[in-house]
């Protein structure tokens, strides 16, 4: 059996997460039992939600257990199979974690999904045509329910979720404005992702300043907002929401280290009759087929051209993950482990 390097959670962050929270372990992969397959991972997915799971507090997900492999999405290839549904060479998406190989029960519903790499590169099944893409789809289609001509805004606009949100909004005839960190990301959002405008939040020291920029780029106000960040971005957007606006609350990365993140004027929810809804996409598996079909088509036809930042080798995962939390990545953050 091949040797399997893996990254485990060794201890929980006190405030900011650091590389010392993780440890690298090498083990043999166990012999397969009937029904199991051995998957060799090509890419690991790094996602902001993982930071929340590193804490031991009440969250929407069970905390990541200590001393076990970090959980997360993976794409790879079946290299050994004792399950008639999977053949060696099949390309599969799964939830194999931060390691080189995983042993999966092929009969468990949802554990593995075979994918076609003719028109969509394998790695995109962890991004635009995977969980982040479906996340954008659910927030836009099921919570925001956009109408053509309305104005949509998304924070972390060039990330895996934000870039899918932009393409999905444009496909529905909306104006879409991004919020991102730095001139390169903003340029990319407009020139490559098709955003109508993108605001560099680093140029704004407070919510009032950001609110002015939003007014400039959203002259008809904001009808839908997809929130990945929280903090002053949310305060600023709230001040520009139109009556009956909808906010899909997907992430509040600004508060992942435990700092308070108060919402300054909740009265605006009332005066503008807004709807705010938090969600986690894995609780809505019923929409995945429809969402993945649209996202696959957008990528296959070049209407969504997601960018990726790829770290090399399993050992690079912790550092790459911490960079993601600081916005150092550009587009979907992956780790290539083959």
Q: Is 224 in the site for a second copy (CB under 8 A)?
A: no
Selected binder of a second copy within 89, 262, 289, 302 (CB under 8 A): 262
Selected binder of a second copy within 189, 250, 325, 335 (CB under 8 A): 250
**Integer CA distances (angstroms), 90 to 111, 120, 151, 191, 302, in order:** 14, 15, 42, 36, 25
Please, what is the minimum distance in Å from the beta carbon of residue 240 to a second copy?
12
Q: 173 or 266, CB closer to a second copy?
A: 266
**Integer CA distances (angstroms), 261 to 43, 232, 258, 276, 333, in order:** 33, 9, 9, 16, 25
Selected binder of a second copy within 52, 106, 130, 132 (CB under 8 A): 52
Only segment of 32-40, 85-93, 248-256, 316-324 that touches a second copy (CB under 8 A): 248-256
- Paired with 24 in beta bridges are 7
Please, what is the minimum distance in Å from the beta carbon of residue 227 to a second copy?
8
Other C-beta atoms lying within 10 Å of the C-beta of residue 317: 25
Q: What is the largest CA-CA distance in the chain?
A: 63
Only segment of 115-123, 146-154, 214-222, 249-257 that touches a second copy (CB under 8 A): 249-257
What the block records as the tokens of 279 is: 């969600």
Please, what is the minimum distance in Å from the beta carbon of residue 224 to a second copy?
15
Selected binder of a second copy within 60, 110, 117, 149 (CB under 8 A): 60
Only segment of 93-101, 212-220, 250-258, 305-313 that touches a second copy (CB under 8 A): 250-258
Q: 269 or 310, CB closer to a second copy?
A: 269
Binding to a second copy, residues 263-292 (CB under 8 A): 263-267, 269-280, 283
If we measure between CA atoms, which residue out of 264, 224, 265, 230 comes closest to residue 244?
A: 224
Residue in the structure block whose two tokens are 């990365």:
253
| Distance from C-alpha of 24 to C-alpha of 28, rounded to nearest angstrom | 14
- Paired with 40 in beta bridges are 77, 101
Binding to a second copy, residues 61-120 (CB under 8 A): none
Please, what is the minimum distance in Å from the beta carbon of residue 255 to a second copy?
5
Only segment of 8-16, 19-27, 51-59, 305-313 that touches a second copy (CB under 8 A): 51-59
If we measure between CA atoms, which residue out of 231, 239, 134, 128 comes closest to residue 181?
A: 231
Other C-beta atoms lying within 10 Å of the C-beta of residue 160: 30
Binding residues for a second copy (CB under 8 A) = 52, 58-60, 230, 234, 243, 249-252, 255, 260-267, 269-280, 283
């Amino acid at each position: 059996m091949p040797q399997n390097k893996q990254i485990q959670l060794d201890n929980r962050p006190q405030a900011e997460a650091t590389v010392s929270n993780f440890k690298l372990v090498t083990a043999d992969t166990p012999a397969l039992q009937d029904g199991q397959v051995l998957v060799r991972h090509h890419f690991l997915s790094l996602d902001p939600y993982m930071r929340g799971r590193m804490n031991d507090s009440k969250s929407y997900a069970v905390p990541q257990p200590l001393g076990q492999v970090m959980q997360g999405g993976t794409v790879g290839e079946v290299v050994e199979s004792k399950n008639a549904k999977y053949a060696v060479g099949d390309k599969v998406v799964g939830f194999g974690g931060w390691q080189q190989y995983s042993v999966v029960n092929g009969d468990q519903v949802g554990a593995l999904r075979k994918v076609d790499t003719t028109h969509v590169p394998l790695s995109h099944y962890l991004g635009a045509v995977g969980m982040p893409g479906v996340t954008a789809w659910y927030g836009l289609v099921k919570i925001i329910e956009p109408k053509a001509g309305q104005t949509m805004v998304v924070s972390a606009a060039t990330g895996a979720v934000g870039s899918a949100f932009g393409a999905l909004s444009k496909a529905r005839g909306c104006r879409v404005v991004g919020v991102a960190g730095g001139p390169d990301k903003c340029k990319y959002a407009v020139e490559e992702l098709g955003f109508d405008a993108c605001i560099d939040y680093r140029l704004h020291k407070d919510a009032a300043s950001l609110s002015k920029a939003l007014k400039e780029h959203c002259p008809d106000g904001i009808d839908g907002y997809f929130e990945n960040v929280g903090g002053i971005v949310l305060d600023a957007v709230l001040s520009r929401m139109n009556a009956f606006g909808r906010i899909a609350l997907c992430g509040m990365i600004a508060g992942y280290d435990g700092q308070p993140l108060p919402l300054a004027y909740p009265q605006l929810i009332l005066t503008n009759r807004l709807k705010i809804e938090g969600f986690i996409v894995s609780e809505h598996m019923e929409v995945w087929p429809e969402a993945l079909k649209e996202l696959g088509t957008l990528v296959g036809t070049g209407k969504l051209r997601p960018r990726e930042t790829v770290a090399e080798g399993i050992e690079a995962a912790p550092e790459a993950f911490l960079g993601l939390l600081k916005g150092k990545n550009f587009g979907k953050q992956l780790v290539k482990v083959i």
